Structure 1
Amino acid sequence: WADSQISGFSGQISEKTGEISRKTDEIKKKEQDLSSLKAERTQKFGERDPDKEEKRLKDAISHAKELVDTRQKEKNELLNQIRSMENRRSDLERRISETQESLRSDLEEFLAQIRLAGFADEETYKSALMKQEEISALEKHWEDIRTEETRILDRKSSAQGRYDDEIKKDITSRPVHELKVELESFQDERTQLIAEIGKNQEKLDRHEALLIQQGEKIALRDAQLREVDKWRRLYELIGSADGKKFRIFAQGLTFCLLLNHANQHLNRMTDRYILVQDKELPLDMQVIDTWQGSVIRSVKNLSGGEIFMVSLALALGLSQMASQNVRVDSLFLDEGFGTLDDDALETALCTLSGLEQEGKLIGVISHVSALKERIPVRISIEKGASGRSKIILPETG
């Protein structure tokens, strides 16, 4: 028994020894782990107090949780605001859609109404509206009618008051027949006032009807005026179909220039006449008579001598215009001098003499003998027998 007991104790001792060895190994391992943790702690925290670091980290975590909660609340508020704004946007989009639909419907209704009224489109309707000054004039006329109606109503009220006052009177010393006469007079006046009111009301009704008719006529007139103005402007731009209007305009410019040149020469002969272009007929001319209050006369009323001076001035002006492109050194005048008196003849010859001094060769064809004394070089034609004439040349020295 003792041996078995000893054997048992030995086994227990061996078991305990193994357990102690294991525990010793575990302790060493724990010590190694502790050293490793200490080294890690030293590496991470250095010489700082772990408890303080733990408290600091717990405080930081708590603060971070509070900050997260705050941010979460702000996030929720922002989400609520976003949802509210989205709802508001949806509501605004719905209202905009409804408004657009309403506007579209109103526009279609407006266009339908103006088409029923006879207008092609909105521009035609706007152009047909009465002008402000016309509306003001009609409003003033309407105000005058209203004023007249008020005046008549006041007169009626005053007459009715007087009539009522007379009815209320119970005692009078006037004879009955006088009162009857006066009553009949008042009744007649009342009847006249009622008739006048009826006439004014009829005038008002006619006036309103005329306003409507006038508005329609004004709209029609404005449309016609716009159409006429379009064709008038087209006519002013291109004129007649055959080009006559433009041709007359261009010729009128040339004719006006000719008159300006002719007036320069005419002024040398007489200060009485000024040639002007006819306003109605651009290719015809008239003369201003400065000795007769600058009255405008027709060239048909001029005497023979006056017509010769005007013709001479026109010929000289035409020669001056032609000389701008082609040199004109000579000018021949056929007859006309016989219609001039002595003063006019002298003036014409002085004008021609001035042109000669400018280097032009002037030839005069005339039967006036007085010209022979003024023309040194002459070619004469003598009538011969058998219907033949003879030319006599000037003698040469």
Structure 2
Amino acid sequence: MNKYSAGKHQSDAKTAIRSSLYSLQPLIASIDNQVILNEVDYHTHINTLRQQHAALTTIKNEFNNYKEQQQTLITALGRLETQIETKQSQLDKEESELSKLVQLVAKRTEAIEKLRTDRERVFANKEPEAEERRLRDELEQAQIGQTSAQRQLDNAEHTLSQLLDTQRRLSEQLNTVTSTLSSQENTFKSALAASDFADEIDFTKARLPIDERNTLKQQQEHIGYVLKQAQSLLDATQKTLADKQANPLTTDDKETLTQQQSQAQDESNKRIESIGAISQRLKDNEDKKNTQQEQIDAINTQKDKLQVWQQLHKLIGSSDGKKYRTFAQGLTFDLMVTQANTQLQKMSDRYLLARDDNSPLELNVIDNYQGGEIRSTKNLSGGEGFIISLALALGLSQMASQNIRVDSLFLDEGFGTLDEESLDIALDTLTNLQQEGKLIGVISHVQALKDRILTQIKVEKLSGGFSRISGQGCHKVVSEKVS
């Protein structure tokens, strides 16, 4: 503590240490000289040491806060330096662009002066806007005339194209008709020469009237169509006959077929009688189904009534109240787990407690160092189990403190299974609780606890089944003999 007794930095905690160093001089002298102090003096010194321990803890916390602030400032300084470098780079770039813009403005100014000189030379004293309007009007009139002429040209070209297509089509038709007429004339001349007619006039006089010719032609076409259908039907019938003759259905004679027909008729009658019996059975089954429907309706009614009780059973459980009791206990259990996780976060950021989905009143542990793996509390080591148990005890005390004040906490053993790191975590947690004004009692035989806990009550084993306690606040009671 001497290093905190001097120095330029001032704080309430260091002031408290400096002010109490003088009062500890008798204790230091007694330790150096190996002199035992009386009870009142060493109680006073112990209280002073506790105050200095609290002050040292405050200094430790202040140091951690200053360290975090320093790290934050270093980070902010690095970020500001990066921003300054970025801004400086941007400033250099913008200065370069500004220089280019100045040069461009100079060039544009020179070009504008040149354009102004050329304008004065071309327009002289003329008004540019009036000249622009005049030229624009002339241009619009010219464009209108061009559009009209182009439209007339397009119409004329379209009409010409249609006329050329019509001429070409008519020429092709004329050539076809001329060729057909020439062929038919040659055919007619050949037929006329081979006939008994002297010339075309005799042939024309011998022809029937046009109506009779049309009637005869229609009759001819009808007769030809009917003849064609009759020929098709004949061909199909002949083919079917040939197929039947090639593949006959049976080779039996007429008497055999008659006997087979009689047997088939008897079999058919038996089948009809069997169908009648089956129909009667179906009718009886339908009657029974109608009778059973009433029973089914009654069963469905009972199921509807049962559904209400099943729903109640699902919500609050059976008559023994176990499910409802588990639900109510689960609410308190959730609250305790929340309080325990709050305490557990102060000790270690590795574990979180969670309720088991299959067993509502049992716990699982979420291991954040293993990717959030869910572990059973049965798989925890001794040190892990002690920290979890300590967190649960502290959470339970926080719940109880909502209604009553809990100022004491006693821990019975369990420290012997802890490794050095777990032991430090547990003792730091208990120290913080002590600084909050709670009385912490530890029952243990671990030597590390004896070295770190100042206020102790020792239990020494004597012979004859007796023990003796010693420590602060313990006095020997002398029994008076009765005469």
Report the TM-score when normalising by structure 2: 0.37
With a CA cutoff of 8 Å and minimum separation of 6, indicate the structure with the bigger relative contact order.
1
User: Normalized against structure 1, the TM-score is what?
Assistant: 0.44
